[in-house]
Amino acid sequence: MLTINNLVKHRGNQEILSGISFKARPGRVTGFLGPNGAGKSSTLRILLGLDRATSGSALINGKPFAELHNPLATVGAALDGFGAHRMRTGRAHLRWIARAAGLSNSRVEEVLEIVGLTNAAGKRVGKYSLGMGRRLGMAAALLGDPKILILDEPVNGLDPEGIRWIRTFLRERAQSGNTVLLSSHLMGELAETVDDVVIIKHGTIVADGTLEEVIGNHSTLEEAFFTLTSEIAGAVV
Amino acid sequence: MRAFNAELSKLFSLPGIWLAFLIGAIAPAVIAALDSIAEKEEIIAGVSTRLSEVGYIGLVLGVQGVIILGVLAVSSEYLTESSESGGGQQITTSLTVVSSRLHFLLAKAGAVTVISILLCIVAIMTTVSATHLVLGEYAPAFEWQRLIGAICYWTFTALLALGITLLTKNGIIPLAVLMINSSVVSFSVLLYRVTKLAVYLPDRAGAEMFMFTSDTFTGSLFVRYNTPFTGGLVMLAWVVVIFIAAAIVFHRRDVAA
């Protein structure tokens, strides 16, 4: 369970998040949607202890990230980019992460197999395509077999096959009782994957509910998203 | 301990580290050999004024290897990926794997310390062998106190490089400044001409641990000022201060900032 409670983030004199609250529940895929710059990545970074909140809390199973004992076994995360040094091979990257969590090298081979990177594992990360890099990020997130996954724009840059793979994979994770929180600005790709939807705009939550609730009277999620996120802009114009 | 293993694994899988090993292990021996060849006649004639420095001069310059090590250990975390791959940094992965930043930092410093000590021991072995090879029976006896001083000097320098890079988040400036300082122009030696307080700068104070002996005679610049022990303490104090400053900044800093 992920609990975001009245989270506020200021950077300089800019307000990135103005007191947002929502939950991501076990057994559900929660889609965290919003236009670029709405505050999605900032929220995820605070949740993972990478950035500090100005006020409010972001808890993982009721605890802040910094209090988790073996974070990799609790929460797997894949944020922007590959999160790997370009001169290292994919396998070497996963191996140091495995060391940090006390996992064996055979677990590294397992996750390479899961994400379909076994053949490219000996290549330097700098030579990876965007899709391969995202798969590497997923492999790192899965290493500790965590009950919670936090993914920032997981389908960005993936080819249709990759998108399909990630959809099926995340659905399976949720069905076996895991919590999945993913952010995206791509609506079409997500409608078939998520159970719950949280929509953020300018650091404020504008919709929060099940997929059906958020779609409401609109024909598609995309329709609902544009109506919800362009209301204020529409009023100004 | 796991975080420490991870840091060792990170360092050994980084190709740039092998340059650090190469410079650290080989350069001191080469320099010591060249210096011994140049001084050989005077040493044999018994008129050399630099007998106490022979060999050690290589260890002073070989410290560049651990400068690369200390800088790279941190700068590799902050190296930004290409924009088409999303512009990520390894530090995000590192900090989502180890939840305590202090543990992360101590693990990194620990890994750099261990590698520096081992590298310096290798450098001492190659340097002593090279000196003996060139000078034979005229080779000066290496005192173990001075050799331990050299190991401390290397380790403290590596930790200074690590701390400074943590503050700058970028390897280029610390690498350039520290390498020039330890090879081409030593700022503390220049400053010494202006104020005697320069002997308390970390590199000058640290060098007292093994470079200057009471019978050093090379003009006013290299006159012994502190005892090896005091010199070492002064350098250690610099390491502690810079490390604490870096830890505080690192603890407070947003990864996205």
Cα–Cα nearest to A152, from A19, A71, A43, A24: A43
State the pLDDT at residue B213.
61
Which domain does B5 fall in, by range? 1-254
What average pLDDT does the structure give for chain B?
89
Q: Which residue in A has a C-alpha nearest to residue B92's C-alpha?
A: A83
- Residue A159 maps to a domain: yes
Q: Please, what is the end-to-end C-alpha distance for chain A in angstroms?
A: 40
- Residue A62 maps to a domain: yes
Main-chain phi, psi angles of A219, to 5 degrees:
-75, -40
Angle (CA) B103 A12 A228, round 5°: 100
Q: Is A197 helix (H, G, I), strand (E, B) or coil?
A: strand
Q: Which residue in A has a C-alpha nearest to residue B10's C-alpha?
A: A96
Considering the domain architecture, whether residues A158 and A216 belong to the same structural domain is answered as yes
Query: B64-78 and B172-183 are packed helices; what angle lies between their axes, rounded to 10 degrees?
Result: 170
Around Cβ B218, how many Cβ atoms within 10 Å? 12
**Residue in A99, A183, A184 to test binding to B, most B beta-carbons within 10 Å:** A99
Considering the domain architecture, whether residues A8 and A91 belong to the same structural domain is answered as no
Contact of B222 with B59, CB cutoff 8 Å: no
- Residue A79 maps to a domain: no
Q: Residues A30-44: what's their mean pLDDT? A: 93
Strand partners, A60: A2, A63
Overall number of domains in chain A: 2
How far is the C-alpha of A41 from the C-alpha of A36, rounded, in Å?
Answer: 9
B110 has a chain A CB within 8 A of its CB: no
Q: Which residue in B has a C-alpha nearest to residue A75's C-alpha?
A: B96
From the list A50, A67, A130, which residue is nearest B254 (CB)?
A50
How far is the C-alpha of B243 from the C-alpha of B240, rounded, in Å?
Answer: 5
Q: Distance from CA of residue A161 to its chain's centroid?
A: 19
A127: which chain B residues are within 8 Å (Cβ-Cβ)? Answer: none
A66: which chain B residues are within 8 Å (Cβ-Cβ)? Answer: 99-100
Q: How many CA atoms lie within 13 A of A220 on its CB side?
A: 10
Distance from CA of A156 to the nearest CA of B (A): 9
Q: Which residue in B has a C-alpha nearest to residue A65's C-alpha?
A: B99
Q: Is A9 helix (H, G, I), strand (E, B) or coil?
A: strand
Considering the domain architecture, whether residues A46 and A159 belong to the same structural domain is answered as yes
From the list A79, A81, A88, which residue is nearest B85 (CB)?
A81
State the pLDDT at residue B41.
86
Residue B139 — very low, low, confident or very high, per pLDDT cuts 50/70/90?
confident
How far is the C-alpha of A57 from the C-alpha of A139, rounded, in Å?
Answer: 28
pLDDT tens for B21-61 read: 999 999 999 999 998 998 888 888 888 777 777 888 889 88
Contact B100 A66 (CB under 8 A): yes
pLDDT tens for A157-169 read: 788 888 888 899 9
Q: How many CA atoms lie within 13 A of B211 on its CB side?
A: 23
- Residue A64 maps to a domain: yes
Overall number of domains in chain B: 1
What CATH number did the domain enclosing A225 receive?
A: 3.40.50.300
Considering the domain architecture, whether residues A22 and A66 belong to the same structural domain is answered as yes
Please determine, for residue A189, whether its predicted confidence score (pLDDT) is greater than 80: no
B83 has a chain A CB within 8 A of its CB: no
Contact B256 A81 (CB under 8 A): no
Which domain does A8 fall in, by range? 2-74+147-229
Q: What is the ipTM of this complex?
A: 0.91
Contact B93 A89 (CB under 8 A): no
Instruction: Name the least confident of A78-87, A100-109, A211-220, B81-90.
Output: B81-90
Residue B220 — very low, low, confident or very high, per pLDDT cuts 50/70/90?
very low
Q: 153-172 in A: which are within 8 Å (CB) of B?
A: 156-157
A111: which chain B residues are within 8 Å (Cβ-Cβ)? Answer: none
Q: Please, what is the end-to-end C-alpha distance for chain B in angstroms?
A: 29
Considering the domain architecture, whether residues A186 and A135 belong to the same structural domain is answered as no
Domain boundary among A95, A125, A145: A145
Q: What DSSP line would sit under B14-70, residue for residue? A: -THHHHHHHHHHHHHHHHHHHHHHHHHHHHHHT--S-TTTTTHHHHHHHTHHHHHHH
How far is the C-alpha of B245 from the C-alpha of B74, rounded, in Å?
Answer: 15
Given phi > 0 = left and psi -120 to 50 = alpha, else beta, which region is B198? alpha
How far is the C-alpha of A74 from the C-alpha of A91, rounded, in Å?
Answer: 22
Strand partners, B194: none
- Residue A112 maps to a domain: yes
Considering the domain architecture, whether residues A169 and A70 belong to the same structural domain is answered as yes
Distance from CA of A151 to the nearest CA of B (A): 12
B96 has a chain A CB within 8 A of its CB: yes
- Residue A51 maps to a domain: yes
Distance from CA of B71 to the nearest CA of A (A): 15
Distance from CA of A73 to the nearest CA of B (A): 9
Contact of B150 with B77, CB cutoff 8 Å: no
Contact A102 B9 (CB under 8 A): no
Considering the domain architecture, whether residues A22 and A127 belong to the same structural domain is answered as no
B96: which chain A residues are within 8 Å (Cβ-Cβ)? Answer: 48-50, 65, 71-72, 75, 77, 79
A133: which chain B residues are within 8 Å (Cβ-Cβ)? Answer: 85-86
- Residue A200 maps to a domain: yes
Residue B222 — very low, low, confident or very high, per pLDDT cuts 50/70/90?
low
Please name the residue ranges forming H helices in chain B: 2-12, 16-45, 56-62, 64-78, 90-97, 101-135, 144-168, 172-183, 187-194, 202-207, 228-252
Main-chain phi, psi angles of A34, to 5 degrees:
170, 160
How far is the C-alpha of A146 from the C-alpha of A165, rounded, in Å?
Answer: 19
Considering the domain architecture, whether residues A90 and A112 belong to the same structural domain is answered as yes
Contact of B31 with B62, CB cutoff 8 Å: yes
Residue predicted with more confidence, B94 or B53:
B94
The dihedral sign for the CA sequence B180, B184, B185, B187: positive
- Residue A234 maps to a domain: no
How far is the C-alpha of A85 from the C-alpha of A76, rounded, in Å?
Answer: 19
Distance from CA of B250 to the nearest CA of A (A): 11
State the pLDDT at residue A231.
62
* C-alpha Rg value of chain B to the nearest Å: 19
pLDDT tens for A44-103 read: 999 999 999 999 999 999 999 999 988 999 999 999 888 999 999 999 999 999 999 999
Residue linked to tokens 């543990």: B103
How far is the C-alpha of B172 from the C-alpha of B147, rounded, in Å?
Answer: 30
Order of strands across the sheet that contains A29-33: A75-78, A148-152, A179-184, A29-33, A196-201, A204-210
Considering the domain architecture, whether residues A68 and A156 belong to the same structural domain is answered as yes
